[in-house]
Structures are given as C-alpha cells and as structure tokens.
Amino acid sequence: MPSTIASFPVLGIVLAVASAAMLALGNMMQARGVRSGEAGAFGAKQFFALLRNRPWVIGALLIAAAILLQLASLTFAPLIVVQPVGVVALVFASLLTARATHRKPSRREMRAIATSVIGVGAFVTVAALVSTQRTIQDRQLVAILLTLAVVLCVAIVLAVVGRGHRMPAVLIVIAAGVFSGFVATLGKTVILRVQTVLTAQDYRFDSSNLLTLACLIGIAISGGLSIYLIQRAHTVNSPEVVVGGLTVIDPFVAVVLGITILGEATGAPVWSLLVLAAAGAVAVWGVFDLARAQQASVSNASLEN
C-alpha cells in the first residue's frame, strides 16, 4: 500500500490563488501582444515576432511565475485541492478587463463570478478535508503516461483530418486546457516522487527513476503544446474566454486524473464525492454564465455605438 505524505492545504491554496492572479495578468498581456502582431494564422514567423513584443514577453514571464507558484502549491497540497483554485483566474481576468476598458462588470457578470467562487470554495474546502497525498507507484506513472499517449494520438488524428479547415475557436481552448491539465498532473507525480526519494534517502537510479524521467519528458511535450495552443487561442478568442476555458478544462482533467489514477480521494465518504461533483458543476456553470454575460455586454456595447 502506498504511504501518505504530509500536506499543508492552506499554504497550497494561498500559493494557488497567487498563481491564478499571475496567470490572469499574464494572459491579458499575451493577448495584447498577439493581437498587436501580424494578422493571419499563428505560425513560427508570428511566434518569433512575439519574442520582440514587450507586452507578450512580460506576459510570458508572468505565466512562467504562475507555473512556478502552481508547482509550489502542488508541493504542499493534493492536486484535487489546489488545481480547482485556478478558476479564480477568471475573476481576476474579468476585473482586469473591466479596469482596462473602463467598464464596470454588469450585475449578471458579478453574479456569475460569485457563483464560480462559491462553487470553487465549496469544492476546495471538502477536498482539503477528505483528500490525501500518497506516494506514487510505477503502475500509476505508466497509467498517466499511457493516457497522455492516447490523448496525443487523438490530437494528431484531429490535426491531420482537420488540416486545411478552420478549427473551431473553442476547440483550441479545450485542447490547450487538456494538455495544461496533464502538465499539472505529471508535475504533481514528479514532486511526490522527489519527496518520497528524499524521505527514504534512496538515490538509486533504477526503472522507477526512468519513469520519472519519462514524466519530465511528458511535461515538456504537454507544456509546449499547451503554450502553442494558447497563443493560437488568443488570435481567435478574447482573453476572458481563453482564461475561462483553461480554468475549467485544466482542473477538470487534473482532478479526474488525481482521483482515478493518483488515488487522492481514496477512502473519502460517498457524501463528499457527491458534494465535490455538485460544487464542481456550480463552478463550471458560473464560468459559462460569465462567458455568456460578457458576450451579451459586448453585443450591447456594439449596438450602442
């Protein structure tokens, strides 16, 4: 049986909130940089041009800081506790947009934000009470890597089949969120493996360490694809839609993997699982309601002008 590892949920949650703020600001800056660049499909030429775009570079640094804070939060708390906190990034993004456009959020937008916050708050509270951190076994690493391989194969098939056709904007955001979820999950497995090695003081290089190395390669592949897809998403979506999609899909993928493969909810009572499902549904509903409210506000503003 895998042993449990001590966690400090409150510290993990605080770091996750800080990460969400950095993520929101970073995406806003990158969206500004992408939209100020050359028009057309996003490719290598556009990417290298962005490296000379100051807002985009600042956004990239902020997102890098957000990733580091998120990894730090995963060190102190289970994946299913801290990952959903990322939904708070949508709140920050909405407030930043309101400040930049000098437009106060509508009553419906505020209601949607409150709904998301309440849902996430309930989810994180229950998850912190019933979740546990456990050492990661080789079979769990293999399961995550195989799942990632299947997702990559599906993505390749879709890319080949859809070549020459315009990909739906929302699909780009969803794909970016899926790969971002794998980054978080694989990062968590590496963190737990390192904690286990340090606790046991077992520094042998064996098959288990090779699997950990494979996880690092998986993080690089997933992270690279996520970054690329996020930049493409910025060319066809508003920053709020990008952040909203990431903060829904990323935690969903990570929480599913955390529960089904990492076993972070093993032994949790049935009532807690029902509450987690209900709270997650409320948070997701708030995100989609916010997206609809923002679209309505943009439409009304266009009509007024």
Tell how far CA 127 is from the center of its chain.
17
Predicted local distance difference test score (pLDDT) of residue 1: 44
Alpha carbon distance 121, 286 (integer Å): 13
Q: Where are the domains of the chain?
A: 4-304
Answer whether residue 288 shows pLDDT above 80. Answer: no
Answer whether residue 208 shows pLDDT above 80. Answer: no
Mean pLDDT, all residues of the chain: 79
Task: Over range 298-305, report the average pLDDT.
Answer: 58
Dihedrals phi, psi of 164, to nearest 5 degrees: 90, -10
- pLDDT tens digits for range 214-254: 999 999 999 889 888 888 887 776 676 777 777 778 877 88
Report the candidate in 141, 149, 144, 98 with the shortest Cα–Cα distance to residue 301.
98
Model pTM score: 0.77
Answer whether residue 118 shows pLDDT above 70. Answer: yes
Asked if 184 contacts 74 with a C-beta cutoff of 8 angstroms, the reply is: yes
Predicted local distance difference test score (pLDDT) of residue 303: 54
- pLDDT tens digits for range 58-115: 988 998 898 888 888 888 888 888 888 877 777 777 777 777 777 777 788 788 878 8
| C-alpha dihedral, 195 to 14 to 279 to 266, nearest 10° | 20
Task: Over range 144-172, report the average pLDDT.
Answer: 83
Percent above pLDDT 70 for the chain:
84
Answer whether residue 6 shows pLDDT above 90. Answer: no
Alpha carbon distance 305, 283 (integer Å): 33
CA distances from 145 to 132, 150, 175, 183, 185 (A): 22, 9, 17, 11, 10
Report the candidate in 159, 231, 144, 152 with the shortest Cα–Cα distance to residue 192.
144
Amino acid, res. 104: K
Task: Over range 27-48, report the average pLDDT.
Answer: 70
Answer whether residue 41 shows pLDDT above 60. Answer: no
